[in-house]
Amino acid sequence: MMKSLLVSAIALIGITLSGVASAHEVKPITPELAEQYGLDRSFFKKGTMAEGIFIATSDKVSDYAHLEAAYQFGNIMAVLKPAIAKRIRDGKVLCILVGHKELTSDIPQFKSDKVGKELDFYNWRSRGFLTLIDKRPTVLFAEEDVLEFEGGMQRESILIHEFGHVIHRPGFPGGFDEELMKTWKAAKKAGLWNDGYASQRFRRVRGDQPVLLLDALVKAFPDQSPEFLRKCLDSGDIIVNGKPSNSKVKVTEKDQVRIVFGGPKDCYASKNRGEYFAEIVQSWFNTNRTMDHDHNHIDTREELKAYDPGAYRFLQKIFKDDPWRFISPRKRAGQGHLKGYDPKTAPVVVQPDFIKDAANDYYDQYWADYWKRLK
């Protein structure tokens, strides 16, 4: 009798063998919750509670995005050391999901007085971050990244990265931040995280009509002479679809053009201790991009242990010894909370031109000094 009661109790609270809550509910946001979390009910229509974290969105965001975020929160919280998980629950974190057709500036908490290109940059750059609003940790993710729509991020989990910031604050107990700082500085002193891929993706070409790549480059980079750009093409410093090309090549928007500067390149993990922590958390869970301007070759727990042992040892103080790793929702579609979800029929996200222009303007400036390496 006692055994059957125990089994029934476990079933009622929805616990799986992995310790993660198996069922979450997407519900209308009540006036009480709206007041508690400072939510404008004319915008926020539905919410999901997971591990003490309240997920709130407009009615434009898929329920699947709610359930997937809740599922991931459950998995991460289950493998955190209990004291850290408790600090996060006690922090009453608010998670806002921005819809794939919404801009960050549409969200009441993140409306902006910026205009023109400054507003475009804000909306491009701000689709995943952690901040404090009225002393409450508030994290924002994009729907297209959580569910990995085509056109969203499919090469890493932005959710895992940003939740790494949540673990940092409010999760860290006293003394942990100081230890993180020492770990990050030791990694930098050892020359780690300075081996990213020094190359710029060139995305100024629009449409399906082939155009001469040289002409597009000359127009985009007026500070570089046409002769110099021609030399870069003919010498293989600018590659198309992964292969060397020449100054006569024509491309469309679908072609992948990359300017390879070569040499050392600092990774995002080297930026500061906060980004270092979020990046190593991604690798702990086997979900990081590799070999681009922000990343080197490290994207698994085993690789992290060999490359940056200090980071690995620090994370052992944060997480339990547990085999859980991130698995893309595209690989779990049709199962559990994703039953009925088909990535093949999911929205395809196409960024508006003003967002593309904001990204291109940023990266042109970001890489401006690297052209010297090709001269």
pLDDT tier, 23 (very low <50, low <70, confident <90, very high otherwise): confident
Q: Which CATH number fits domain 13-173: 3.40.30, 1.10.3210, 2.60.40, 1.10.3470?
A: 3.40.30
Over residues 304-363, the pLDDT tens digits come to 999 999 999 999 999 999 999 999 999 999 999 999 999 999 999 999 999 999 999 999
Q: Which of 178, 326, 321, 171 is nearest to 313 (CA)?
A: 321
Listed in order, the ranges of the chain carrying CATH 3.40.30 are 13-173
C-alpha span between 193 and 292 (Å, rounded) = 12
Q: In angstroms, rounded to a whole number, what is the distance separating the alpha carbons of residues 20 and 85?
A: 13
Task: Give tens-digit pLDDT for 220-258.
Answer: 999 999 999 999 999 999 999 999 999 999 999 999 999
Q: Where in the chain is the domain with CATH 3.10.290.10?
A: 199-260+350-374
The pLDDT assigned to 7 comes to 37
Positive or negative torsion for Cα 85, 89, 94, 100 = positive
The gap from C-alpha 365 to its chain's centroid, in whole angstroms, comes to 22
CATH among 3.10.290.10, 3.40.50.2300, 1.10.565.10, 3.40.50.720 for 199-260+350-374? 3.10.290.10
Count of all residues that appear for the chain in the document: 375
CA angle 330, 336, 340 (to 5 degrees): 65
| Phi, psi for residue 298 in degrees, rounded to 5 | -90, 120
Q: Where is pLDDT greater, at 20 or 310?
A: 310
Print burial letters for 251-289: b (CB count within 10 Å at least 16), e (below 16): beeebebbbbbeeebbbbbbeebbbbbbbbbbbbbbbbb
Whether 172 contacts 212, CB under 8 Å: no
Tell me what pLDDT residue 6 has: 39
How does pLDDT run across 77-109, given as a tens digit for each residue?
Answer: 999 999 999 999 999 999 999 999 999 999 999
Confidence of residue 3 (pLDDT cuts 50, 70, 90): very low
Residue 128 has pLDDT above 70, yes or no: yes
Q: Is the pLDDT of residue 278 over 60?
A: yes
Start-to-end CA distance of the chain, whole Å, equals 80
Mean pLDDT, to the nearest integer, of 148-159? 98
Strand segments, DSSP code E, in 103-170 are: 129-133, 136-142
Secondary structure E strands in 246-352: 250-251, 257-260
Distance CA 284, CA 192 (A): 17
Share of the chain above pLDDT 70, in %: 94
pLDDT at position 341, please? 97
Q: What confidence tens digit (pLDDT) does each residue in 56-82 have?
A: 999 999 999 999 999 999 999 999 999
**Cα 366 to Cα 188, 202, 359, distances in angstroms:** 21, 13, 10
Q: CB burial class (10 A; 0-12, 13-18, 19+) of residue 87?
A: middle
> What 3-state class would DSSP assign to 306?
helix
pLDDT confidence of residue 13: 35
